[in-house]
Amino acid sequence: MDMADARQTLANFEKAAAYMMNSSGQVSSEEYRMAEKIFLSFRRVKQPYPICKYMLENSSNAYVHFQAVSAIKEAIVREWKLTNENDKTSLREFLLNYVLGQSGCQDFVREQILSCIAIMLKRSIVTESGLKDLDNLLSTVYQMINSNSNKVHLDSCSLMASILNEFAVNPKSSRISVSWEFHIKAKKKFETEPLKKICIIALESLQHCNRNLNQGIKVMEKYLELSEQILTWNFNELSPNRPKSGHVDSHKLIAFRPGRNWDDIISNQSTIDLFLELYQKVRHESRLCHLVLSCISQLTSISNDVFPNSQSKVHYLTYLVASLVKARGRKICHGNEAQGLAEVFNRIITVDKLLKHIQDEAALTFIKDLSHVTCDCLENAVKEEMEAMDETFYSYAADQLLESWYSIVNEDTEIFNVSRISQDIIMVFECYLKCHLSDGRKSIYPILTGNTADIEIDELEEDDSMASGGQLLSIGALGRSILPHSLPLLSQLLENRIITLRQYISNRLSVTIDHNALMDDIHWLILIIGSVLVDEIGPELPLIPSPILRYSDNLSRSDNYANLVKLISHIGCNDSRTIDDNMLQLLHLEGIDHVLVITFLMLFVARIEEETLQSSAADSLSPQVGKTILWFLIRWCRVYLLPREECYDHISLSLVLTFGRDSDLGAQITKFLVGKVFSNLTLWNAENDIVLETIDLLSTLVDNKARCYIAVSCEDLWNLAVQQVGNSNSSLKKLSGTAQKMLAKALVKAGSCIDDNDARDRFWSMLLGPLKNRFLAALLEPVLAKLMEDSALRNELCITIDCCSGVALASTSSSVQALFSYLLSILRDCIQLLQRFSNVPDLVEIILELFLNVVESQIVYLNKTSTNELFKLCLALMQTYTKCNVGKVSDTVFAEEEKYIELYLILRLLSQVISKDYLDFSTEEANIGQEGEIIGVIDVLLCGLNFIIPLMTENLLKFPDLCLEYFKLISFQCECYPQKINEIPQNLSNLVLVSLNIALNRFGSEVNKMALESVAALATYAYDHKCNTERNNLMIGIEGFMKSILDLLFSEDFEVDLMQSTSEALFCVICCYPDAYKNLIGSFLLAQSNAELRNYLAECFNKLIPPSLPMHMERSSKLQFGKNLRTFLADAKGVQTFSDAQLLCFRDHLANSKVSNGRCTVHGIQFVQKWTLCKLWFHQVIRKCSNTQGAIQDDDADSRSNTSYQK
pLDDT band, residue 1158 (cuts 50/70/90): very low
Question: CA torsion sign, 873 to 874 to 879 to 884?
Answer: positive
Question: Within a 10 A sphere around the Cβ of 1109, how many other Cβ atoms?
Answer: 15
Q: Is residue 431's pLDDT more than 90?
A: yes
What is the secondary structure of 1065-1091 as a DSSP string?
HHHHHHHH-HHHHHHHHHHHHHT---H
Residue 154 has what pLDDT? 87
pLDDT band, residue 246 (cuts 50/70/90): very low
CB-count burial class (<10 Å; 0-12, 13-18, 19+) for 358: buried
pLDDT band, residue 357 (cuts 50/70/90): confident
Distances (CA, A) of 562 to 596, 658, 671: 11, 10, 21
Maximum distance among all Cα pairs of the chain, rounded to whole angstroms: 109
Residue 1170 has what pLDDT? 31
Supply the DSSP symbol for 404: H
Residue 1056 has what pLDDT? 72
**Highest mean pLDDT: which range of 74-83, 650-659, 1131-1140:** 650-659
Residue 1029 has what pLDDT? 59
Beta bridge partners of 1154: 1161
CB-count burial class (<10 Å; 0-12, 13-18, 19+) for 573: exposed
Residue 18 has what pLDDT? 83
Mean pLDDT of the chain: 81
Question: Within a 10 A sphere around the Cβ of 23, how many other Cβ atoms?
Answer: 6
Over residues 199-210, the pLDDT tens digits come to: 999 999 998 888
Question: Within a 10 A sphere around the Cβ of 1200, how many other Cβ atoms?
Answer: 18
Over residues 1127-1149, the pLDDT tens digits come to: 887 776 555 444 333 333 333 33
Backbone dihedral angles phi then psi of residue 653, each to the nearest 5 degrees: -65, -40
Q: Is residue 584's pLDDT more than 90?
A: no
pLDDT band, residue 149 (cuts 50/70/90): confident
* CB proximity list for 956: less than 8 A, separation 6 or greater: 896, 899, 900, 903, 962
pLDDT band, residue 652 (cuts 50/70/90): confident
Residue 1177 has what pLDDT? 32
- Taking the C-alpha atoms of residue 516 and residue 518, their distance in angstroms, rounded to an integer, is 5
**Highest mean pLDDT: which range of 14-28, 593-607, 1158-1172:** 593-607
Q: Is residue 524's pLDDT more than 90?
A: yes
Residue 450 has what pLDDT? 46
Question: Within a 10 A sphere around the Cβ of 728, how many other Cβ atoms?
Answer: 8
* CB proximity list for 156: less than 8 A, separation 6 or greater: 141, 144, 201
pLDDT band, residue 485 (cuts 50/70/90): very high
- Taking the C-alpha atoms of residue 216 and residue 218, their distance in angstroms, rounded to an integer, is 5
Beta bridge partners of 1161: 1154
Residue 906 has what pLDDT? 93
What is the secondary structure of 634-668 as a DSSP string?
HHHHHHHSS--GGG-SS--HHHHHHHSTT-HHHHH
Supply the DSSP symbol for 1029: G
Q: Is residue 734's pLDDT more than 50?
A: yes
Query: Quick one: average pLDDT of 242-259?
Result: 60
Over residues 364-414, the pLDDT tens digits come to: 899 999 999 999 999 999 988 888 777 889 999 999 999 999 999 887 556
Distances (CA, A) of 923 to 62, 814, 1042, 1060: 77, 11, 46, 41
Residue 809 has what pLDDT? 93
Shortest CA distance to 1057 belongs to which of 177, 77, 180, 178?
Answer: 180
Supply the DSSP symbol for 256: -
* Percentage with pLDDT > 70 across the chain: 86
Residue 807 has what pLDDT? 93
Over residues 613-633, the pLDDT tens digits come to: 888 788 888 899 999 999 999
Q: Is residue 1187's pLDDT more than 60?
A: no
Helices (H), 125-268: 128-142, 150-168, 180-192, 194-211, 217-231, 263-266
Q: Which residue has the higher pLDDT, 846 or 1025?
A: 846
Backbone dihedral angles phi then psi of residue 570, each to the nearest 5 degrees: -65, -45
Give the H/E segment covering residue 1156: strand 1154-1156
pLDDT band, residue 910 (cuts 50/70/90): very high
Listed range (102-106, 997-1001, 1166-1170) with the worst mean pLDDT:
1166-1170
Contact 536, 515 (CB under 8 A): no
**3-state SS, residue 234:** coil
- Taking the C-alpha atoms of residue 381 and residue 370, their distance in angstroms, rounded to an integer, is 16
Shortest CA distance to 403 belongs to which of 490, 468, 316?
Answer: 468
Residue 472 has what pLDDT? 94
- Taking the C-alpha atoms of residue 746 and residue 589, their distance in angstroms, rounded to an integer, is 41
Contact 328, 277 (CB under 8 A): no
pLDDT band, residue 458 (cuts 50/70/90): very low
Residue 1036 has what pLDDT? 75
- Taking the C-alpha atoms of residue 181 and residue 1123, their distance in angstroms, rounded to an integer, is 10
Q: Which residue has the higher pLDDT, 651 or 529?
A: 529
Residue 492 has what pLDDT? 94
Residue 1052 has what pLDDT? 66
- Chain length of the chain: 1207
Residue 391 has what pLDDT? 80
Helices (H), 614-756: 623-640, 653-659, 664-683, 688-703, 705-711, 715-725, 737-752
pLDDT band, residue 732 (cuts 50/70/90): confident
Shortest CA distance to 400 belongs to which of 441, 444, 340?
Answer: 340
Over residues 958-979, the pLDDT tens digits come to: 888 998 998 888 888 888 888 8
CB pairs under 8 A, 24+ apart, for 922-929? 922/860, 922/861, 922/862, 922/863, 922/864, 922/867, 923/863, 924/817, 924/863, 925/863, 925/864, 926/863, 926/864, 926/865, 926/866, 927/864, 927/865, 928/864, 928/865, 928/868
- Taking the C-alpha atoms of residue 191 and residue 52, their distance in angstroms, rounded to an integer, is 33
Spell out a b/e string for 858-882, using b for 16 or more CB atoms within 10 Å of the CB, else e.
bbbbbbbbbbbbbbebbbbbbbbbb
Q: Is residue 927's pLDDT more than 70?
A: no
- Taking the C-alpha atoms of residue 739 and residue 746, their distance in angstroms, rounded to an integer, is 11
Residue 171 has what pLDDT? 57
Residue 480 has what pLDDT? 94
Give the H/E segment covering residue 875: helix 864-885
pLDDT band, residue 729 (cuts 50/70/90): low
Query: Quick one: average pLDDT of 131-140?
Result: 88
**3-state SS, residue 423:** helix
Give the H/E segment covering residue 107: helix 107-124
Residue 21 has what pLDDT? 79
- Taking the C-alpha atoms of residue 95 and residue 241, their distance in angstroms, rounded to an integer, is 34
Helices (H), 412-514: 422-436, 438-444, 452-460, 464-467, 469-481, 483-506
Over residues 779-823, the pLDDT tens digits come to: 888 888 888 888 888 888 999 999 999 999 999 888 888 899 999
Spacing of C-alpha 851 from chain mean position? 29
Q: Is residue 718's pLDDT more than 80?
A: yes
- Taking the C-alpha atoms of residue 424 and residue 404, their distance in angstroms, rounded to an integer, is 13
Residue 462 has what pLDDT? 73
Contact 973, 942 (CB under 8 A): yes
Question: Within a 10 A sphere around the Cβ of 796, how many other Cβ atoms?
Answer: 18
pLDDT band, residue 267 (cuts 50/70/90): confident
